[in-house]
Amino acid sequence: MKHPAYQALAERYQRLYRLSHLQAIVHWDQAAMMPPKGAEARAQALAEMGGLLHQQATDPQLAQWLEQAAAEDLDAVQQASLREMRREWQRANALPQRLVQAKSLAESRCEHAWRSQRPANDWAGYAVHLREVLALAREEAQALSDASGLSRYDALLDQYEPGMRSAELDRVFGEVREWLPGLIRAAMERQAAAPAITPVGPFPEAAQRALGLDAMRLLGFDFDAGRLDASAHPFCGGVPEDVRMTTRYRADSFLQSLTGTIHETGHGRYEQNLPAAWAGLPMARARSMGLHESQSLFFEMQLAAHPGFARLLAPLVVRHLGEQPAFAADNLNRLMTRVSPGLIRVDADEITYPAHVILRYGIERALIEGEAEVDDIPALWDAGMMQLLGLDTRGNFKDGPMQDVHWGAGLFGYFPCYTLGAMYAAQWSAAMRRERPDLDDCIARGELAVVFDWLRERIWSQGSRWETAELVQRASGEALNPAHFRRHLEARYLG
């Protein structure tokens, strides 16, 4: 065997991947299918699985193999693979198994409680569970900080967006805060002169589901390797060979489920097109959650909100929801690009969306760094929503700090990835247009392969072959450049 240590590592990480496959499907079932009485047993089972995975990932033998593999004559791809294995190993060894299991248990319990407490606007009840999750997240952050030398928040952020630091986020988000309020006002004033026709419901769930499935087909989703279901909070999970997407339905608004489904389809197509030749290895995973969100937001904002795409979507809407004036392509596009500050992040338009992310980033960073506690969240939320969007959220917890599942699920450090993803998506679009000046005409004609082929070649097929900064440079010809995001918004809403 030419590279025995590297081969031993590859076999171990492929075994971990197969176990993680089972864990991912169980997580999906917990959110989409599990009956309520299964919650505690499922929480215990997931904690047990997390412990077993941690044992395998921290086996002392791995340290020896990593050292030996570094001395082997590996090619460039194997060296990149070894880099990602070492990253996985370092993170796993920073966390004690007790903490891994305790986090899994607390997060499962908090998420399950959230499903009933959110509709009831029961902040006090939810806060009891969230305090335990936060305490364990802080312990995790400290352990990762001790191992990496990063700040506690940056250590969590690095799990989702490797290489990104809060100092850079502060700079980028600080710039956005300067120009965002004026852009929101200008866009709303412009749109007031061209009001959209409001669709007339109700819209049956079965019809909305059928519409969503047709939209997924239009976008190239492979139903032999995935499916769509419903859950309290839309998500994309599973594994590349078996992608599990969910959306949610409201009888009075078909756009919520449609745009949510399109968003998750971007995630799903990324997963389905990750490099199969490296399957099971850490290098075969998506590079970062910012890049993952760049795919979902490219599908939702750059593509679905494109006026040419509305002409492709309108016949599908009519087929499933019936004929009415609101479903004309130009009106459908106005509906999908309407700027209106609202309470709910996942329903926000692309101009006001960054405000939701900036709010959450500030709160979660303060929570992890010990500058705020769970009981401080409502007041911080109310002040931030009033300052950023001019909305009064006092007493409305279900549409305020309880609307997202992220903190209850222990995902501290994830929220910045959404706006980073929007910035990356605008940058991909700008790069495509430089190479294909006829891109807008291609979209209007339904020649979407132009888009998908570019994404497959530059993003999907690369997995984690390159570190984030290099992948972005190779894909678009430049480092992350937030100016593309601002130019995109100004061109669409003020041009």
pLDDT, tens digit, for every residue of 410-460?
999 999 999 999 999 999 999 999 999 999 999 999 999 999 999 999 999
What is the pLDDT at residue 229? 96
What is the pLDDT at residue 495? 84
pLDDT, tens digit, for every residue of 247-280?
999 999 999 999 999 999 999 999 999 999 999 9
- 161, 264, 271, 300: the active-site residue: 264
> Residue 283 corresponds to which tokens in the numbers above?
């290098």
Q: pTM for the whole thing? A: 0.94
pLDDT, tens digit, for every residue of 18-76?
999 999 999 999 999 999 999 999 999 999 999 999 999 999 999 999 999 999 999 99
Confidence band, pLDDT 50/70/90 cuts, at residue 168: very high
Q: Is 399's pLDDT higher than 80?
A: yes
Q: What is the mean pLDDT of residues 467-482?
A: 96
pLDDT, tens digit, for every residue of 174-232?
999 999 999 999 999 999 998 999 999 999 999 999 999 999 999 999 999 999 999 98
- The candidate with the shortest Cα–Cα distance to 467, out of 287, 232, 241, is 287
pLDDT, tens digit, for every residue of 267-313?
999 999 999 999 999 999 999 999 999 999 999 999 999 999 999 99
Q: Is 2's pLDDT higher than 90?
A: no
Topology of domain 167-494 in CATH is Neurolysin; domain 3 (1.10.1370)
Q: CA neighbours within 13 Å on the CB side: how many for 401?
A: 27
What is the pLDDT at residue 18? 95
What is the pLDDT at residue 118? 97
The distance of Cα 74 from the centroid of its chain, to the nearest Å, equals 33
Quick one: CA torsion of 317, 319, 324, 326, rounded to 10 degrees? Answer: 10
Indicate if 264 belongs to the active site: yes
- The candidate with the shortest Cα–Cα distance to 4, out of 65, 56, 57, 62, is 65
In angstroms, the CA 349 to CA 429 distance is: 18
- The candidate with the shortest Cα–Cα distance to 251, out of 218, 209, 310, 300, is 209
Contact 274, 284 (CB under 8 A): yes
Helices (DSSP H) in 370-467: which residue ranges?
Answer: 377-389, 416-435, 439-444, 449-458
**Do you find a cis peptide bond into 202, omega within 30 degrees of 0?**
yes
Confidence band, pLDDT 50/70/90 cuts, at residue 1: low
Phi, psi of 118 (to 5 degrees): -65, -55
